[in-house]
């Protein structure tokens, strides 16, 4: 028996969209005012990087979001390219989840919903961004 995906009710979609909008605005305001590089203590340091000196999947994410809050896309991309790409895809992913399903997005959404994709992408990204050679050095924050 195959499980069918169901779309959430209108009330649930409105509640989710409202919560996301409020959290997004609060996050952008916080990142516009406080600089994660200044080490104000507001933003935690990456424990993986502190312990190993290596870059994890999320290293540079806060600095990338800070750059995006200041409309600096090239700097954001230099901090964490994968996160920026996924952030650009997130509206389409949310729209798909909320029921807007154009046929052109179906292959991408199937791929994004496949656990094997993430089990290869995330560890692979972490491995590649720690290699000390060009072009892999472009994946490290900086």
Taking only the tens place, the pLDDT of each residue in 61-70 is 989 999 999 9
Rg (CA), the chain: 18
- Which of 14-28, 75-89, 100-114 is predicted with the least confidence, judged by mean pLDDT? 14-28
Query: What's the pLDDT at 118?
Result: 94
- List of residues 6+ apart from 27 with CB closer than 8 A: 65
Taking only the tens place, the pLDDT of each residue in 26-61 is 877 888 888 887 766 677 888 999 999 999 999 999
Query: What's the pLDDT at 31?
Result: 80
Q: How far apart are CA 20 and CA 110, in angstroms?
A: 23
Backbone angles phi, psi at 24, to 5 degrees: -65, -45
User: DSSP assignment of the chain, as one string?
Assistant: -PPPP-PPPHHHHHHHHHHHHHHHHHHHHHHHH--GGG--SSSPPPHHHHHHS---TTTTHHHHHHHHHTT-HHHHHHH-HHHHHHHHHHHHHHHHHTT---GGGHHHHHHHT-HHHHHHHHHHHHHHHT-SSTTGGGGS--
pTM score, whole prediction: 0.75
Contact by Cβ (8 Å): 57, 126: yes
Query: Both ends of the chain: CA-CA distance in Å?
Result: 49
Mean pLDDT of the chain: 86
Q: How far apart are CA 30 and CA 113, in angstroms?
A: 31
Instruction: Give the tokens for residue 100.
Output: 């807007």
């Amino acid at each position: 028996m195959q499980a069918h995906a169901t779309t959430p009710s209108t009330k649930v979609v409105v509640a989710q969209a409202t919560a996301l909008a409020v959290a997004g605005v609060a996050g952008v305001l916080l990142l516009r005012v406080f600089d994660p590089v200044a080490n104000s203590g507001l933003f935690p340091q990456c424990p993986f990087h502190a312990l190993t000196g290596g870059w994890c999947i999320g290293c540079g994410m806060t600095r990338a979001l800070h750059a995006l809050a200041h409309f600096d896309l090239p700097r954001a991309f230099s901090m964490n390219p994968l996160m920026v790409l996924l952030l650009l895809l997130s509206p389409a992913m949310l729209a798909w989840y909320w029921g807007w399903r154009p046929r052109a997005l179906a292959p991408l959404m199937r791929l994004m919903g496949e656990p094997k994709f993430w089990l290869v992408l995330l560890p692979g990204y972490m491995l590649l961004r720690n290699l000390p050679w060009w072009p892999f050095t472009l994946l490290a924050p900086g």
